[in-house]
Amino acid sequence: MTKPFNKLETITRIRNLLTVRILHNQVRDQNIILEKKVQERTIELEESRLEIIHRLGRAAEYKDNETGAHIVRISKMSSLLGRLAGMTNERAELLLNTSPMHDIGKIGVPDSILLKSGKLNAEEWKTMESHTIIGANLLAGHSSELIKSAQEIALTHHEKWDGSGYPMGKKGKDIPFEGRIVGIVDVFDALTSRRPYKDPYPIDKTLSIIREERGRHFDPDLTDLFIKKIDDYVAIKNTFSTRKDIASQDFKLSERDQWVPLNI
């Protein structure tokens, strides 16, 4: 604008500039609102996936009364060992949320085998081993990192470091890292828990077995890390010792190494 100012022109220009500014702010605010809605929707979808994972893991409770507490312990122990082994927070959190699915395939194992009080014969044991394949098949065909990780764990948590495990006989570092982690904490929890075919082993006997299996069943480095922090694993075991312990709190496996009450 040039002097001398024309009153009408000045007012008109100021009004136009203010209008443009207001419209600009509205567009900016609308973009912020839309971005926030997208973020909220993304979080909602992720929580839905986690909820599905959690509930599918708990579905095995209907086959085995111990499983409800077992999956919580496995989740906590796996995440802890993953962090000790150098996992990033994001990867350890993924393990926290996917490890409960390791035994989902037991849904397909007959109760007569799963709950048998005596030793399994060769045919029954072959059926029991199939829970890894069943679990992997249940989780197959989805591109989500969450589901893919759960599938890999379900398939490989019974592989052994020396190649004598099942279902594929993978050996050493050919076994996925998460599968190796869940494998050792799963054995620890199984040995120290009551099962239809056995009483719980004391910690010293369990540790002796784990040491003997270092380099055979278990990754040697993970074994050393596990034994070094055994008190932490015993604490998790004692905190979530029965299904009743978790029923009063009803944990949701969706927060980074935290347990949040979930109303079901």
Amino acid letter for position 154 = A
Give phi and psi for 107, each to the nearest 5: -60, -30
Rounded CA separation 248/35 (Å)? 38
Write out the DSSP string of 115-133: T-SS---HHHHHHHHTHHH
Helix (H, G, I), strand (E, B) or coil at 165: coil
Alpha helices in 99-176 (DSSP H): 111-114, 122-129, 131-138, 145-156
On the CB side of 181, CA atoms within 13 Å amount to 30
Tell me the catalytic residues. 106
